Structure 1
Amino acid sequence: MSPSQSKKLDLIFKLLIGVDLVAMLIIFIHARVWPDFPFPHLGSRLNNPFMFLIVLLVLRGWINLEFRENILGLIKRVATEEPTRIYFFSLLISIQVGLEIMWYLYPSDLYWSLNAEKGYGTLFATAQLFILGIVVLFTARADYGQDADWKDKAPWFLVASVYIFIGVDDLLGIHENFMILGRTMALDSAVFHFVHEWLWFYVPVIMVVVIFLARFFLKRFIYSPKILGMMFVALILWIGVLVLEGLAKTVVEDTQRTDYVRLLIGIEEGFEMFGATLFMLGFSRHYKNLQEKSRTET
């Protein structure tokens, strides 16, 4: 691709990003600030335009090397450099606490709801998972070096892909399509429909992923009990999310105690968000260790 073509594409992506941000602002104004805002309604969900924004940013980063390096450099600084990383991770945890508080205060507000996948919690969780995927990728490059074989690179790319896919699934509700499909199957089976039906499609894959992640963590982080412990705590939290998801349909949603339902949903979503933060802490700490080792050797 010639430089002139790259510049034209970069300009197109910049314009599309601007249009998308304006669309998100209009949706927000209609939903939260001014319902009668004199502009056509563009919907009530921020999920799709937010996903489109992420895609546009990725495409622009692919076209524009300077833009890509600036974004990667920013994420690398806030996630790995002291004391910035302390502020960054404190901010992530503070946002999670704030989301939990607002969920308890306004459970009927869909935008503060941690149960409905159209609110601020979903947007935050998705953004965090995408950033986590990026942290994994630049940590991978520092870990395996420039001349590594594909077999050394592949596990890292798979780990990053897992986190990014979970973010996409949360944002677009991919698993809900499997739930709709599952409700048409095994209609006479109480066991099959005891849990959310999408779990029957996902659990076999999830089991493989959990085993893969456990092996990966043991192989890469055995040198640091602190990082290894952090990774396995995060993994256990995410397994806890699946257990709570399994209970959600019958045990949680069918109960008449709304305070109990709110508590369990808050715990489930809290496990997912804080688990992602712990994963990011672990990978960024590994990156810092690699950088310190490199400086010592030189």
Structure 2
Amino acid sequence: MTFKVFLQYILPHRALSRVVYWATRWTFAPWKNFLIGLIVKRYQVNMTEAAQPDPFAYPHFNAFFTRKLRPDARQADTAPSALISPADGRISQAGPIVDGRIFQAKGQEYTAAELLGDDESAAPYRRGRFVTIYLSPRDYHRVHMPLRGTLKETVHIPGRIFSVAPFAVEAIPRLFARNERLVCHFDGEHGPFAVVMVGAILVSSVATVWDGLVIPPYASSIRRKSFEGQNVTLERFGEMARFNMGSTVIVLLPEGVAELDALTSQQSIKVGQRLGELRHT
């Protein structure tokens, strides 16, 4: 075990996240400009795509981190049958779900039931498809719909807040099924699908377009919220949520709903870019 991985086990995750949560919302100009400048320089953030291209015009670091893009900065694949990426980032892994098991990294896997919080919710995905996308600090941190869907339920699942960077994904068993996360269950024209927002160390913070800030507060037990009958329907490519710090998005599809393209680990991806082809079921 490397020292970086060892630290993941001993650091006070939630205490650190609470400190960083407030630090990234402090409007003191020298402080927020220092943080913003550091990230822009270190990660070579492309501010020409942002609706507000001046990084120091944002009132605090979190406003910069969750910045809007220009309307023409991202476009959805024009084919209506294309499954599209919900986020900017890199493909961590993608492929078939084998008897309910999802590949995490070499030597690591977890189950759909562990990820979603129960066996019943995982049943449709036992032999389905999954796509895992990692967002780094340089990426656009708003998450969009991979296809049109009506929200049925959200499930806030408590857990650790390990880093989701590649070094941690390769070393920490069942990482995505252990981190705090928000599971969003949808019904679509091709059947059910799930979009899972996985938190990460240093502010596991998630906000949705229908509920606002959902995490924090952090959960001590599984919390379910039904949206049956509320007609929360989101269009393909429409914004659904945002991460307030670096994170991971996982899309689950049942068997026969889509055929994924030849996606490779660490492949760069943008919101709206094609991930595969939807089948009519």
TM-score range, shorter chain: under 0.3
- Could you say which structure has the larger radius of gyration? 1
TM-score (normalizing by structure 1) = 0.23
- Which has the larger share of strand? 2
TM-score (normalizing by structure 2) = 0.24
